[in-house]
Amino acid sequence: MDATDFLRPEGWLGQAGGPRYVQLRRRLEEGISSGLLPANSSLPPEREIAEITELSRVTVRKAIHELVRDGLIEQRQGSGSFVREPLTRVEQSLSHLTSFTEDMERRGVETTSRWLERGVFMPAPDEVQALGLKDGEQVARIYRLREANGRPMALERAALPLSILPNPIEVTVSLYDVLDKLGKRPVRAVQKISAINLESREADLLGVAEGAAGLRIERTSFLADGRVAELTRSLYRGDGYDFVAELRL
């Protein structure tokens, strides 16, 4: 059976199945999960799907939009809609203070970064408060897109006092490696995790649809002597991460 036969409405499209776009979305999900629509294969154009299924193009477009939002389909400018390569979920412990690079290396995953900002800046008011900066003090700031095996996974923005990181240009791979060499690696941290819907720019950088589920993590890290070392705000793809915490009585 090819995609054309699979999409013919006989047998799956009916009055009792709910909204028509939902029925089409389910049918496409079945094709993806069964392998009939394999990763990186292209979907027929919306016009053709509408003709095959006898649905309106508005209905077809809505079904595909939901699959894009859920990360099953990606739309490539000028090329059409394609089935996404499945993203392996990463299970990350909340019990250990580790870096993104260390987490990925333990799993045998190659990491790369796309730098969005790196340098010394005047701090924002929230950075002054979180880092305990004095009037006139500057801040080292690094902002980058973190990738695992070439796939975008997270946006990470870190701010540190210059007394902790005098030269942010030294950070080429792992921030914690640089801090370790300086003798200023954090030993504990407080993290706040929030569920969000990704806005347009962040979604575009992470390769997902606008409004897709994401995780916002704010981490404040401390040195052994109690000084604040780092304020990091990260946005993670919701389809790429599971955060796990061990709880004891």
Q: Tell me which of 83, 116, 139 is where a domain ends.
A: 83
Separation between Cα atoms, residue 146 and residue 152, nearest integer Å = 6
pLDDT at residue 5, as a whole number: 86
Note down the domain range covering 21: 3-83
In sequence order, the 6+-apart residues with CB closer than 8 A to the CB of 248 are none
CATH number at residue 66: 1.10.10.10
Say yes or no to pLDDT of 21 above 80. yes
DSSP state of 15: G
Pick the residue with more confidence: 148 or 116?
Answer: 116
Are residues 75 and 166 both part of a single domain? Answer: no
Are residues 169 and 184 both part of a single domain? Answer: yes
Q: Please tell me the total count of domains within the chain.
A: 2
Say yes or no to pLDDT of 217 above 70. yes
Q: Tell me which of 83, 116, 137 is where a domain ends.
A: 83
Question: Does the reported pTM lie above 0.85?
Answer: no
Are residues 205 and 162 both part of a single domain? Answer: yes
Are residues 97 and 21 both part of a single domain? Answer: no
Are residues 107 and 27 both part of a single domain? Answer: no
Which of the four pLDDT bands, split at 50, 70 and 90, describes residue 157? very high
Within the chain, residue ranges assigned H as helices are: 3-7, 20-34, 46-53, 57-69, 100-106, 125-131, 175-181, 200-206
The mean per-residue pLDDT over the stretch 82-110 comes to 77
The per-residue b/e assignment along 80-91, b for 16 or more CB within 10 angstroms, e otherwise, is ebbbbeebeebe
Are residues 106 and 139 both part of a single domain? Answer: yes
Say yes or no to pLDDT of 88 above 70. no
Are residues 204 and 105 both part of a single domain? Answer: yes
Are residues 148 and 223 both part of a single domain? Answer: yes
Q: Tell me which of 30, 60, 83 is where a domain ends.
A: 83
Are residues 11 and 67 both part of a single domain? Answer: yes
Are residues 45 and 135 both part of a single domain? Answer: no
Separation between Cα atoms, residue 106 and residue 111, nearest integer Å = 11
The per-residue b/e assignment along 12-46, b for 16 or more CB within 10 angstroms, e otherwise, is ebeeeeeebbebbbebbbebbeeeebeeeeebbeb
**200 part of a folded domain:** yes
**249 part of a folded domain:** no
The mean per-residue pLDDT over the stretch 58-66 comes to 93
Pick the residue with more confidence: 193 or 93?
Answer: 193
The mean per-residue pLDDT over the stretch 45-54 comes to 94
Give me the percent of the chain exceeding a pLDDT of 70.
97
Are residues 65 and 118 both part of a single domain? Answer: no
